Structure formats: C-alpha cells, structure tokens
A and B are shown apart, each in its own frame.
Chain A
C-alpha cells in the first residue's frame, strides 16, 4: 500500500466498498441469468425448479429469431463501415498536419455526446425525407454515426504509438504510398482495427433508441425486447437478456484482450530497447 494511505481507513473498508460497487453493477444481470433458468412464470427467489423451457421458447419464436437476425446484420454492417471510417479518420489525423485539424477531430468525436433521442428523431426526419426510413439500411447508417467515433478513438490510440518517420522511411526505401501503408501502418494497427470492429459491433447490437426511431417494422433485438415487455412480463426476456449480455460481454472481452496484448507487447519492447 502506498505510504500516504497507510494510516487512512483499513484495507477491509476498500475491499468492501469495491465489492458493493460490483454487486450493484452485476446483481441485476446475474438475476436475469438466474431467472432465465427458472421453471416459474414469474420471477421469485423461491424458485420451484430449474428449466430450459424459456430458452426453447425463445429459440422457436419466429419474431425473436428475425429480430436477432436483424440485429446481427445491422451490427455486422455497422461494424464494417464504422471501423473503415474510423480508421481512415484516425489515419488522416495521424499522418497529416492541416489547418483546423483540432476542430475536425472534435467534430469527428462529437456524435456519441448528442442525446440519442434527438439523434434518433433527427435521423428519422432525414431518412423519411430521402425515403429510406424504416429500412435496415437506415438503422445501419444511423448506427455508423454513433459507432465510428469509437472506432476512430481506438485506432488513434494505437497509431499514436507508431513513429511517424516509419512510413516515410518505407517510402524512402522505395515503397509507394499504398505499400508503405499496407506494410508498415496496417500491420501495426491490425489489433486496434479488430478491437474497433468488435466494439462498434457491440455498440450497434445493444442500441435501442435509434433503432426504435429509424427501424420501423424491422425490429432489432433491443426493440423486440422492449415491445414484448410493454405487453406482458414474459420470462423469455431473461433469456434474451442473458444471451445479449453474453454476446456483448464476449465481444468486449475479446477486444480488451486484443488491446491489452498489444500494449503489453509494446511495453516489453520498450524495456529491451
């Protein structure tokens, strides 16, 4: 323990505090996982038995499966486009020095700070004007707007570790710009690109407000869940919650592992040099 904390509160206090935070964060999620396996129709702690019936019900529910498919399609396309845009923006910011660079950067990172309701409503108005409201393409376009800044942020972090001279050095050794980009910049940035893909996928997969405004009858999983909940309390919600949570958590954990491994590698390189 650092010396300045030595005579402060006992360590047990900090551990208890941390435990409380984690319990408050994860208890609702854990309860969803627990109740998804309950044999009862209504969630209660005196569970009468263990059952996978709700899983069977969800996996045979055509509307839910369609929503899942919509979600996967939207998230897949969103991740592809947002990552490409995010990398391109991060690269431009890394490679070039131009007038108004800071302003461009701020503008590019702005969308996630706009309230989703406003963004969703504005998107709906715009999409209906150009006649694509209510299509999955509209949802993808809207999701790209909020997801691309995340991709850009992740790629920028990685590019910041790359000496800007390297790309020039490659050109100096005879590599035309596309080769220098492909041989020097991309290999270095691949882990970040992968992480950006997973994170933007997760962002889109979880997003409710914009999907609800712009998706129309094409429901994604979060929209379908909320729609179901408005009608009745259905135990299949717990199943969907558990499945969604697992998908998102897996994606984020993989992204985290990729990012941690790359920075760990960079650190050990610095030590030896």
Chain B
C-alpha cells in the first residue's frame, strides 16, 4: 500500500433539498480493502454509486490509476459491483451470467468460456455452470455475483452490502472467503455495509459516515479504540462519554471537571485550562466495585441494567447527575461483584485508558445515533 490508486476528491450529491453526500474525499491505495459504514441514509451507498457512475456527482473528481473516470458513463468505468440484491440475470445460466461482461467487451467465444470456467472453478461453482441462476442457494448465487464481476479482472471491485441477503452462518463463511480472495487477487475492494463486524473484520481502513459527511477514516483498531467524535463513539458502541471543563495542572496532572466530580486525564492531553472537552472510556476498561476506593477515577453510580452478551456482560450504570456509563465485565467478574439491579456501585478506570474526543468534531450535528 504505497501509492494512491483510487482518489475520490470532494464528491457531493444532493437530491433537491436533500443532501445525500455533502463532502467525500478519500485516497485509496492499490489492493486496499476499504469499508464504508454508517447508519441508513448517511450517504454510503450514494458514494459507492457515484464511484460506479450510477449517480452523477454534483461536484468533485474521481481518479482511477491516474485517469479521471467521473465523466465516463457507467459502461466504460471498469468498476464492477456486487449488488445487495445480487442482480443476477434470471433467464441465463450461471456461465452465461459470468460471460456477460466479457461478451460486452467483445471477447471471443472460446476465450470467454475459458475465462468464465476458470472463475467458476476457482469459486467452486463449476458444477452449476449450466444451471439457471434461479435454482441456486444463497451462497452459490453470491459466488456467481462475485465471479461475474471478477472475471473482468477489474482494478477495483465495489460491493454494496453483498452479504445482507445471506443467513448469519453463511454470511460469516462468505466474509472469510471474501477476505482471502481479496488478499490473493490484490485488487482494491470498496465495501459498503452497516454491519460493524463485517467492516471491522474485513477492512484495512474503515470510513464512518454520518449525514453525508465523513466522520472518521482509520484502521478498525483506530476507530474502535480512538473514535474521534461523539457520533463515532456512539456508533461503534461500548464507549462511555463524560463532558466537562479542563482544570489547571496539579503536580503535572490534569483533571476534567464533570458534573459527577473531578476525573484525571492522561498525560497526552494537550488542552488549555478552561476548555470544554469530552472524555471517552471504553466499556472494557471500566471496573465496577461495590465498595469505593479501588481506582484512580471513581464515580458512584446506580446499576440500571445488565445486558448478557455471551462471554461478557454489559452493565449499564447511571451517575448521580443522570449520566449513562457502560462497563463490560467477564461473566466470572460479574458473579464476584454480586450486585443486583438498583444497587449502588463504583465505576473506576485508569486515567491512561481515557481519551479526549477531537474537539473540532464535538459540536457536529447528528450526534444522536440513528438506527443502522
């Protein structure tokens, strides 16, 4: 991943008064796996459609391998797409579906068949080559959709929620296959999804969008551990936010004055005294005890509810000022805690585990998480 291969520069798209994409810029390297994620209506699909030429951008440029493509019509873009509905041609056989793009490029019959059969073989569906696509299972149809695009040997493959039609088990299996395929081929994947697990487990970089704007671009770890805005923190989930004002230094330590008391900030924070700030702490870094005096930053809370999530349990807490916190505990630790709903507990964390959100992004509209 060295050079910029696919460049989206200032793309924007409105429909009448509705702004679908306000501003979208992204430099994608060759062979990178990019996931674009966000709630419904955030502009992720519109961005992908602009890339494919299915929507004309109002502003902005798209460059692929040094060549400007945003003014090319759909059929000349070489950006095949795997559709949410798959959009397989229903009255054609599997092989005819895969050969379609090659035929449109004027590839001779024998060559077309050889290349299509190669891909059917590679994706393990050569047994069904002569079958009508309507008579395939979900996973097989998914593979036909992939083969149909990949047979064109594109530099970029676009995927629009490609696994949403599959059942959970099959979707996870296909996730693994997609990642493997992408690594082997070394081509760029641009993958739109509303699923955290798909985006985080597949992508090299994740783009989080909200209300037509990019909120954050970064590696899954970056976004998971260091969300920059309230929106991202809430969208990713499992993060407690505390608002307050930065206090002056005391013995080289810095503190944030919140409505629930003073909490210590990590050394890396560089905000001036008196600045408004939002402190974020991951749920798995918060400890919960029934007696005070265990941790460095401690806030008295009421245990509001428990949410069972497999090996771990999420505890929802409420501070005296009515603020919500979430803590993630192992089952074992919960048993030791022995607190019932409504009990008084103490939430604490190490100051190095707290981080301040990017100030420039704190006052963005739409910090409320909409249904994904």
Contact = CB atoms under 8 A, between A and B. Distances in A.
B139 interface: no
B75 A171 contact: yes
A173 B134 contact: no
B242 to A, nearest CB: 46
Contacts of B132: 269
Interface in B132-185: 132, 134-136, 148-149, 152
B104 interface: yes
Interface stretch (B87-95, B216-224, B266-274, B348-356): B87-95
B104 A172 contact: no
A166 B104 contact: no
Contacts of A165: 83, 85, 87
Contacts of B135: 269, 272-273
Nearest to A161: B90
A166 B89 contact: yes
Contacts of A176: 73, 75, 104
B87 A174 contact: no
Contacts of B75: 171-177, 180
Nearest to B148: A173
A179 B76 CA distance: 13
Interface string A177-190: 10110011001100
B134 A170 contact: no
Contacts of B31: none
Nearest to A190: B91
A187 B96 CA distance: 14
Contact of A170 (B77, B91, B100, B149): B100
A174 B100 CA distance: 9
A173 B154 CA distance: 10
B80 A272 contact: no
Nearest to A165: B87
B104 A173 contact: yes
A169 B91 contact: no
Contact of A175 (B54, B91, B104, B149): B104
Nearest to A270: B134
B60 interface: no
Interface of A: 163, 165-166, 168-177, 179-180, 183-184, 187-188, 269-270, 272-273
29 contacts: A163-B87, A165-B83, A165-B87, A168-B54, A168-B87, A169-B83, A169-B89, A170-B89, A172-B80, A173-B75, A173-B100, A173-B101, A173-B104, A173-B148, A174-B75, A174-B76, A174-B101, A174-B105, A174-B152, A176-B73, A179-B104, A180-B75, A184-B89, A187-B91, A188-B90, A269-B134, A269-B135, A272-B134, A273-B134
